[in-house]
């Protein structure tokens, strides 16, 4: 960890702080050993080994609990970041849903307007066809009746006959 602190997500001051902590703990363990060794009855070899093992285990537990604490904090930060991202995604989905609803309403209104325009186009088309038929009928009835000078007289006479 000391060789490459960035590999473990640490910076140099944190490594220095941890090194001091380990040194302090080792000093305390050394003091405890001295106290045990200077006690009235000297410990047996088996007891001395057990004490050394306990001291080593305590140091490992301290180191691992420090690491576990750091790991737990890191995991909590990751989960917090993920929660924030999920909230952002949720807000985006809500916005998209609202936009889809607005678009749906717009399309429904435009469908109604297109239906009305389609009906108007059908009515106008029917009127134009009827007007074209009437015009063609009029043209067929009056073909050959006109000369430029006499055509107007014939047309007037026809109109007077029909409309009085």
Q: Which two tokens stand for residue 150?
A: 């006499």
pLDDT attached to residue 115: 93
Over residues 41-54, the mean pLDDT reads 53
Helices (H), the chain: 12-37, 45-141, 150-163
Quote the mean pLDDT of the chain: 78
In angstroms, rounded to a whole number, what is the distance separating the alpha carbons of residues 47 and 53?
A: 10
If you average pLDDT over each of 33-37, 62-66, 74-78, which comes out highest? 74-78
Share above pLDDT 90 across residues of the chain, in percent, rounded to a whole number: 25
For residue 43, is it left (φ>0), alpha (ψ between -120 and 50) or beta? beta
- Report yes or no: 85 and 55 within 8 Å, Cβ to Cβ: no
Q: Where are the domains of the chain?
A: 43-163
- Report yes or no: 146 and 154 within 8 Å, Cβ to Cβ: yes
- Digit-coded pLDDT (tens) for 84-143: 999 889 999 999 999 999 999 999 999 999 999 999 999 999 999 999 999 888 888 887
Q: How many CB atoms lie within 10 A of CB 107?
A: 10
């Amino acid at each position: 960890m000391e060789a490459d602190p960035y590999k473990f997500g640490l910076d140099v001051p944190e490594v220095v702080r941890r090194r001091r902590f380990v040194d302090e703990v080792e000093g305390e363990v050394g003091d405890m050993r001295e106290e045990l060794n200077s006690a009235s009855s000297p410990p047996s070899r088996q007891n001395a080994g057990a004490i050394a093992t306990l001291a080593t285990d305590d140091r490992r537990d301290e180191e691992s609990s420090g690491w576990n604490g750091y790991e737990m904090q890191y995991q909590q930060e990751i989960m917090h970041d993920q929660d924030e991202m999920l909230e952002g995604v949720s807000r985006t989905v809500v916005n998209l849903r609202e936009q889809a609803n607005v678009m749906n309403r717009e399309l429904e209104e435009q469908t109604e307007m297109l239906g009305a325009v389609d009906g108007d186009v059908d009515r106008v088309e029917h009127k134009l066809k009827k007007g074209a038929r009437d015009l063609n009928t009029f043209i067929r009835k009056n073909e050959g009746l006109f000369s430029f000078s006499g055509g107007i007289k014939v047309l007037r006479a026809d109109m007077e006959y029909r409309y009085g």
